[in-house]
Structure 1
Amino acid sequence: MKNYDLITPEGTKDLLFGECIIRRKIEDTLKRIFTSRGYSEMITPGLEFFDVFNLNSRYFPQENLYKLTDSKGRLLVMRPDSTMPIARVVATRLREAVLPLKLCYNQTVYRTEPALKGRSDEIVQAGIELIGSQLKMADLEVISTAIDSLKAFGMEFSLEIGHIGVFKELVGKLEVSDSDKERIRKLIESKNFPALNDLLDSFGTTPVTAALKKLPALFGGVEVFDKAEELIPDENVKHILDEFREIYTDLTELCGSDTNITVDLGLVNKTDYYTGVIIKGYLQGHGEEVLSGGRYDKLISEFGYDIPAVGFAVNVNAIQKVIEKNGVYPAMPKTDAIVYAEKGCEVAAVKAANELREQGLIVENALFDDIETVREYAKEKKIAKVVVINGSSREDA
């Protein structure tokens, strides 16, 4: 007995008609933004060897991967991320390419999140990777492109910008286990102040634990930098904050004071992945980020090619949800005419339909035996013109 032949797997869905139009418009909008800045598209396989995502840093927990085996028994995964396969390609096929490389993509990733309801395990990501430059200009280009990507959908948006270096400097001074460091990171990321304070208190009262307690609250405007320097009197942290302040100041000048950019030193996601600036973008009406990225200068080195990189990915599914929630559905393409062939005139009808299409019209060939049924069909679908092909004649009915 078949139990699952009429439904889709959890975390997936069918897209119909208007939903497909929205999806393609989002993708086309982002691609135009990326290619106008000199980014070239690439596509990586949907299937990758497990080893690509099983590096020393373990960026993706094994339990979140869709796994299978090939004909030789080797372990494969369905691509859970686009950046790491691109890093693999850069370290192999593009190793001799002129730097910097400016790459963009639009492809699906697959992750399982069994604890989440209403989740998407099949996520379309569109994004860019700027590879081979450590300059501030590279950060500015990527972040300003992210802002333009959020602006493109005509909705209110906000961008959060952080720097993982501050957290790494602080937590590196604690003599605690890696698992404890990860617990601290998760509590800072979730801004769980009570649990964070309790955990840090168990390690004693020091300037480092005091600073880590305050880290989730260090968000806002330019004043955050002064507060952080006062709270964390450390030369390495000061150097990081000075560079970060420059980027923030340049962004506000570049994008204008009306652009909602927030500094958040509590952005500490993927500490083994990111090495510098981190960004998260939001659209009004959606609680989760629709865009995320940052600088990851050590990732490609794990594939044997030590070059810096910065980039971001847009969650196309999330933007589609916001558009659908707001009821902003694009108009469906409308058929302009339908061509009906009387018996023996099928070839002439197909030719007539093609001639009308060459004029830029959307034209259907009628798939009914009688003209009355064709007229009813045209009325139902609001097709204004019915063309009848009869022998060598042609008439509008």
Structure 2
Amino acid sequence: MIQKPRGTRDMLPDEMERRREIEARMRLRARIRGFREISTPVFEETELFTIRSGEGIINEMYVFEDKGGRSLSLRPELTAPVLRMYVEEGRSLNKPVKWCYFADCFRYERPQKGRYRQFWQFGAELIGADSAMADAEVIILGYDLLKTAGVRFVLKIGHLSFMRTLLSDLADEEKKKIRAFLDKREEDAAVSHLKAINQEQLCDPLIRLCGARTLDEVFSVIGEIPESQRIREMFHILDVQQIPYEINPAIARGLDYYTGVVFECFAEGLGAENQILGGGAYRLAHLFGGEDTPSAGFAIGFDRVMVALGEDIRSLHQPQVMVITTPEGRDRALVVTEELRTNGIITEIDLMERSFSAQMKAAGKSADYAVIIGKEEALSGDVTLKDLKAGTQEKLTVSDVVRKLNP
């Protein structure tokens, strides 16, 4: 028996309906905030991803050579393709450009809970605006999308200038090592490394900075910096919008990629791998042949959203109807079936030529209501509506059934 590849999943109808419900909520909220959906190719030139991440990323990607000898890769993420698309297609658009996307990505890594080799991202990019308002807009959108989905999470926000200022006197290689420790949330290891390279004077400030939870505490460690006013303004905007957050100066997210504000969301119910959103301000367009363009964005791990939600997806349940008929009522049943469907009611009719009792038995397994049409109903034009959960039934017109099930 041929099985699905490791790190991939088959999704049955119940799961797909839950996913589509959450997708629809998130798409609507993004559109309300002015972000319009785009789509990029599933595969791109391999160089698109190595140009900023180095050749080492190839080991984590699905890379192949096409018949023309070109090196192509299944996309491991979507920010680079979106910026490539902006440089190629969108530079003449009015600024800022506000795009969102929902698509699958591919990475060759060890599968684990909420982490697959084929996975889905819901993300957004705001391109061409360089302001506190723009930074806040992206953070608020990410927060709104997760709240709309129903996820319980904590939003943590930092700024790369915090650690950049504290570590300014270190050699670049040492800065990268400290950042790597912080990115893995290994603050003790970062302190130990500072001691190992004879930078003990930075240990106490690093500990104090990592523990700072207000801007006043942050600036008491590093002093006022050129970005102070903009940072304070961004947090003020979040406060005005009543966005709950925690300040976390230790957020690193790869300083070679991001340039300013950085933020992450951590969800309940995901164990150690509980980060569900990551983003920040960055500049990438120039790497792909465009002008140096300020941008900010984020990506949400949609598979982790679904794991975090579990079965707790609060939505209006759409009643499902099975039309039950006898041979004498079949023609009328066909007409009624289409009338119910036209009015947006999920309706099925027997396709197996089963007996009346067998149809009722099947309806009890998959439907909420049975619409019964026998010889009597075919003559009168009414139907018998049976609530399969309550066991009650009543004679109604088709219009009454529509009003009852689709108010």
Q: Verify same fold: TM over 0.5.
A: yes
1:87 partnered with 2:83 = yes
2:186 corresponds in structure 1 to 192
- Aligned residue type for 1:244: I
1:230 corresponds in structure 2 to 220
Q: CA–CA distance in 2 between the matches of 1:76 and 1:332?
A: 44
**Cα separation, partners in 2 of 1:254 and 1:328, compared to 1, 3 Å:** closer
1:284 partnered with 2:268 = yes
Q: CA–CA distance in 1 between the matches of 2:55 and 2:295?
A: 16
User: 1:1-397 maps to which residues of 2 (within 5 A)?
Assistant: 5-6=2-3, 8-58=4-54, 61-114=57-110, 119-175=115-171, 177=173, 180-205=174-199, 209-210=202-203, 213-214=206-207, 217-220=210-213, 222=214, 225-233=215-223, 238-255=225-242, 259-287=243-271, 288-296=274-282, 298-305=283-290, 306-324=292-310, 327-328=312-313, 333-338=318-323, 340=325, 342=327, 350-372=334-356, 373-382=358-367, 383-387=369-373
Q: Is contact 1:280–1:292 with CA below 8 Å preserved after alignment?
A: yes
- Aligned residue type for 1:199: H
Q: Is contact 2:132–2:234 with CA below 8 Å preserved after alignment?
A: yes
**Cα separation, partners in 2 of 1:229 and 1:333, compared to 1, 3 Å:** closer
Q: CA–CA distance in 2 between the matches of 1:52 and 1:173?
A: 33
Larger relative CO (CA 8 A, sep 6+): 1 or 2? 1
Q: CA–CA distance in 2 between the matches of 1:59 and 1:293?
A: 23
Shift of 1:131: 0.6
Q: CA–CA distance in 2 between the matches of 1:46 and 1:215?
A: 44
Q: CA–CA distance in 1 between the matches of 2:142 and 2:373?
A: 49
Q: CA–CA distance in 1 between the matches of 2:171 and 2:266?
A: 36
Structure 1 residue ranges without an equivalent (≥5): none
**Cα separation, partners in 2 of 1:78 and 1:211, compared to 1, 3 Å:** farther
**Cα separation, partners in 2 of 1:59 and 1:146, compared to 1, 3 Å:** farther
Shift of 1:154: 4.2
Shift of 1:40: 1.2
Deviations 1:298-332 (A, max 9, x none): 211111222111112222211111111x6446576
Determine helix, strand or coil for the equivalent of 2:220.
Answer: helix
Higher normalized helix content (fraction of residues): 2
Which deviates the most, 278-287 or 38-47?
Answer: 278-287
Q: CA–CA distance in 2 between the matches of 1:215 and 1:112?
A: 38
Q: CA–CA distance in 2 between the matches of 1:347 and 1:70?
A: 55
Q: CA–CA distance in 1 between the matches of 2:24 and 2:111?
A: 33
Q: Is contact 1:42–1:105 with CA below 8 Å preserved after alignment?
A: yes
Q: Is contact 1:125–1:316 with CA below 8 Å preserved after alignment?
A: yes
Q: CA–CA distance in 2 between the matches of 1:302 and 1:380?
A: 57
Which deviates the most, 246-255 or 305-314?
Answer: 246-255
Deviations 1:85-108 (A, max 9, x none): 010010011122221111111111
CA RMSD of aligned residues (A): 3.0
Q: CA–CA distance in 2 between the matches of 1:38 and 1:73?
A: 41
Q: CA–CA distance in 1 between the matches of 2:21 and 2:246?
A: 28
- Aligned residue type for 2:371: K
Shift of 1:264: 0.8
Q: CA–CA distance in 2 between the matches of 1:369 and 1:140?
A: 60
Q: Is contact 1:53–1:84 with CA below 8 Å preserved after alignment?
A: yes
Structure 2 residue ranges without an equivalent (≥5): 385-407
Q: CA–CA distance in 2 between the matches of 1:248 and 1:348?
A: 64
- Aligned residue type for 2:189: A
Shift of 1:218: 3.3
- Identical residues among aligned pairs (%): 27
Deviations 1:156-185 (A, max 9, x none): 4321001112333444531253xx433221
**Cα separation, partners in 2 of 1:395 and 1:68, compared to 1, 3 Å:** farther
Q: TM-score, normalised by structure 2?
A: 0.82
- Aligned residue type for 1:309: S
- Aligned residue type for 2:183: E
Q: CA–CA distance in 1 between the matches of 2:23 and 2:70?
A: 34
Q: TM-score, normalised by structure 1?
A: 0.84
Deviations 1:193-251 (A, max 9, x none): 332222212322365x447733762342x2xx333333335x6xx22344323322331
Shift of 1:149: 1.9
Determine helix, strand or coil for the equivalent of 1:73.
Answer: coil
Q: Is contact 1:292–1:313 with CA below 8 Å preserved after alignment?
A: yes
Q: CA–CA distance in 1 between the matches of 2:239 and 2:32?
A: 22
Shift of 1:188: 1.8
- Aligned residue type for 2:233: E
Q: CA–CA distance in 1 between the matches of 2:129 and 2:171?
A: 34
Determine helix, strand or coil for the equivalent of 2:236.
Answer: helix
Which deviates the most, 167-176 or 99-108?
Answer: 167-176
- Aligned residue type for 1:253: V
Determine helix, strand or coil for the equivalent of 1:239.
Answer: coil
Shift of 1:36: 0.6
Which deviates the most, 346-355 or 67-76?
Answer: 346-355
Determine helix, strand or coil for the equivalent of 1:55.
Answer: helix
